[in-house]
Structure 1
């Protein structure tokens, strides 16, 4: 049997459809969660987020995050630690929401230790938020857990 142009077209379509089907199967197995559960509401309230970020800019250097041997330490300057209420600390992992970690830092505490058992190595967006005199403040920093 000779190989002619008709056979070539059939071979081309078989290879093409095999590639398309394997691509569809691969994409169905990928995680396609939205960034957050209330993505659309957050988009509608973006101007409020911009106000919070502008108001919080003075506290950006007051919070530091450091890798230590057996975990991560978040250090607050005394100006932030002594504010009237506690703070929410949120480790947001962009690659999967099941790895997010939410913690609470009591008023007056200048340091929070997070053990390696709670975090997975990789990139996180760490945000510290609090309320003061009916205003919300939030400082976010990108961080890599090692």
Structure 2
């Protein structure tokens, strides 16, 4: 059987479209390729965005910002020097982009310069850390991406 140019081009286009559709269906149904949204309540978070911008600006105006160190015990979140650490309130939120079941939050309750995030809570890979804290009724925000 002889195939002319028109039939060959039609077969090639159908084959290519089938190939693309196979990968679209495979990627959208396979759990291995699923990625979670940053938050389910996207629009409510958007309304709070200006407060986050103000808190980040307050943090950038500090003479010394929060510092994150990795140690054998876990992550050490160092707060700026010269503060009354017992008056710091807030939370540390760790977000795992690849798996929302690993996300967790730790309330800030310290009497020393640092807060320790235990190593057993952290799996290797990429983490986004967000420290939302207040001191003397002024809000601060620190964000950082970590690869452990």
TM-score normalised by structure 1 residue count: 0.77
Asked if 2 retains the 8 angstrom alpha-carbon contact of 1:87 and 1:104, the reply is: yes
What count of residue pairs does the alignment treat as equivalent?
145
Q: Mark the CA change 1:132 to 1:73 in structure 2 (over 3 Å): closer, same or farther.
A: closer
Tell me the residue number matched to 1:73.
76
Tell me the residue number matched to 1:43.
46
Tell me the residue number matched to 1:123.
126
Asked if 2 retains the 8 angstrom alpha-carbon contact of 1:62 and 1:80, the reply is: no
Tell me the residue number matched to 2:147.
144
Structure 1: segments with no counterpart, 5+ residues: none
Tell me the residue number matched to 1:23.
23
How many Å separate the matches in 2 of 1:44 and 1:86? 22
Per-residue deviation at 1:95? 3.0
Aligned 1:92-107 pairs, distance under 5 A: 92-107=95-110
Which 4+ runs in 1 deviate beyond 4 A? none
* Per-residue deviation, residues 88-145 of structure 1 (Å, max 9, x unmatched): 1111223332222211231313233333321121222212222344432222222222
Per-residue deviation at 1:8? 0.9
Tell me the residue number matched to 1:9.
9
Report the aligned-residue RMSD.
2.6
Asked if 2 retains the 8 angstrom alpha-carbon contact of 1:59 and 1:80, the reply is: no
Asked if 2 retains the 8 angstrom alpha-carbon contact of 1:65 and 1:143, the reply is: no
Q: Mark the CA change 1:134 to 1:76 in structure 2 (over 3 Å): closer, same or farther.
A: closer
TM-score normalised by structure 2 residue count: 0.77
